[in-house]
Amino acid sequence: MTTKRVRVAVTGAAGQIGYAILFRIASGQMFGTDTEVELSLLELPVALGALEGVKMELDDCAFPLLKNIKCTDKMEEAFDGANWILAIGAVPRKDGMERADLLKVNGGIFGPLGKAMASHGASDCKLFVVGNPCNTNCLIAMESSGLPKERFFAMTALDENRAKTQLAMKAGVDVTEVTNMTIWGNHSATQYPDFYNAKIGGKSAAEVITDTEWLSGEFISVVQKRGAAIIKARGASSAASAANACVQGVYNLTHDTPAGETFSMCLASKGEYGVDEGLIFSYPCRVEGGILKVVEGVEHNAFGQEKFQTTLEELRSEKASVKEMGLI
Ligand SMILES: NC(=O)c1ccc[n+]([C@@H]2O[C@H](COP(=O)([O-])OP(=O)(O)OC[C@H]3O[C@@H](n4cnc5c(N)ncnc54)[C@H](O)[C@@H]3O)[C@@H](O)[C@H]2O)c1
Ligand SMILES: O=C(O)C[C@H](O)C(=O)O
């Protein structure tokens, strides 16, 4: 029986990821089949025509859970009463760019976004950032909003899925055998996909896959550079897999986590693992009884510590850059 209703604002709703995600949200895959959905779609004025076409297609699906669709080019209107804001609207990188190269282009979107979230979002409004560079964009929105830091998230679920599949293929097992696959740090080429603490059939991936050279070399590099490889191959950045990860990421935040499992999520550090308080850092997380927790006590060997430090330093330097740009 349907008992709940959620209002979801999606920015960049007529873009590639928008087109891949809206139908999945409306079908109940993000919030569950017991939750009705109201969609509030934000686009640039130039894309409002295309957005109208997307709305027509949503209407044509006759989704039982979809109760309202609003299309607008005004952020305040889009965020009015929103319980969740999915911040997808931003420029994607092109071949040869790093995600951080987008800070100058996209960073400016996120200050006004944080302010509009604070002034118009519902009292429990949460932000999930997909637009790159997602960690630091999320930091800008959080700092600009003045809202509690617990309501801000950025996406490493896609990196986690990529890493799981690479490990499963190498071990010759089904992908469901791979658990506890944590991405530490930044959604960038410095992220640390932690194969030592990941499990295959309940054992450390580093015990099951004995090719340590592959794990510490090719595996990490493939996951770190997968976004760039897709841009090169497709001529456009990942869209369906990014939408899938966003659906999964918000689902993970809104449902209790199965026993023994963890998921990767970028959130404001409270100093866990020595990360500067307030940096948007990807950690292993769990939701228990509706409460989100960073899983503590995960150990890193010297190799892991070095990788951890590298991604932490990068996030510190992105924060310093946006400070210099006057964005925070
Ligand atoms: N975190 C991740 O894992 C991940 C994965 C894939 C893509 N991304 C990022 O997601 C973003 C979107 O990717 P895409 O492929 O959908 O791009 P896209 O260009 O297809 O779509 C982006 C849409 O956003 C709109 N837009 C731009 N600025 C806006 C603003 N200020 N307000 C509202 N809408 C705005 C554009 O009109 C466009 O329709 C990019 O920054 C990309 O790098 C992140
Ligand atoms: O890599 C990109 O620029 C897009 C996205 O962040 C990805 O990881 O696919």
| Long-range CB pairs of 204-213, under 8 A, 24+ apart, other chains included | 205/167, 205/171, 205/178, 208/171, 209/167, 209/170, 209/171, 211/170
Residue 311: what residue type?
Answer: T
Pocket of ligand 2 (CB under 6 A): 92-93, 99, 132, 158, 227-228, 230, 237-238, 242
State the closest ligand 2 atom to the C-alpha of 238, by its place in the atom list counted from 1: 9
The 10s digit of each residue's pLDDT in 302-317 is: 999 999 999 999 999 9
Q: Is 72 in the pocket of ligand 1 (CB under 6 A)?
A: no
Give the pLDDT of residue 1.
Answer: 54
3-state secondary structure at position 195: coil
Domain ranges of the chain: 4-154, 156-318
Q: Is 42 in the pocket of ligand 1 (CB under 6 A)?
A: yes
CATH among 3.40.50.620, 3.30.420.40, 3.40.640.10, 3.40.50.720 for 4-154: 3.40.50.720
Angle in degrees, CA 118, 124, 127, rounded to 5: 65
Distance CA 15, CA 90 (A): 9
| Intrachain domains 4-154 and 156-318 with the same fold | no
CATH class, range 156-318: alpha beta
Low-confidence spans in the chain with pLDDT less than 50: none
ipTM of the complex: 0.99
Q: With b meaning 16 or more CB within 10 Å and e meaning fewer, what string describes 290-327? A: eebebbeebebeebbeebbeebbebbeebbeebeeeeb
Of 41, 128, 130, best ligand 1 pocket probe by most atoms within 8 Å of the beta carbon: 130
Give the pLDDT of residue 192.
Answer: 98
Distance CA 253, CA 263 (A): 9
Give the pLDDT of residue 2.
Answer: 53
Angle in degrees, CA 27, 166, 215, rounded to 5: 145
Give the Å distance between the CA of 252 and the centre of ligand 1: 22
Binding-site residues from annotation: 12-18, 93, 99, 106, 130-132, 162
Pairing of strands 152-154, 263-268: antiparallel
Q: What is the value of pTM for the model shown?
A: 0.98
* Residue 77 Cα distances to 40, 81, 111, 204, 241, angstroms: 8, 9, 17, 48, 29
Q: Which helix or strand (DSSP H or E) is residue 121 part of?
A: none
Q: Is 111 in the pocket of ligand 1 (CB under 6 A)?
A: no
Distance CA 102, CA 227 (A): 14
The 10s digit of each residue's pLDDT in 205-262 is: 999 999 999 999 999 999 999 999 999 999 999 999 999 999 999 999 999 999 999 9
Instruction: Let me know: does 258 contact 234? Beta carbons within 8 Å.
Output: no
State the closest ligand 2 atom to the C-alpha of 134, by its place in the atom list counted from 1: 6
Q: What sign does the CA torsion over 295, 301, 305, 307 have?
A: negative
Catalytic, 300? Answer: no
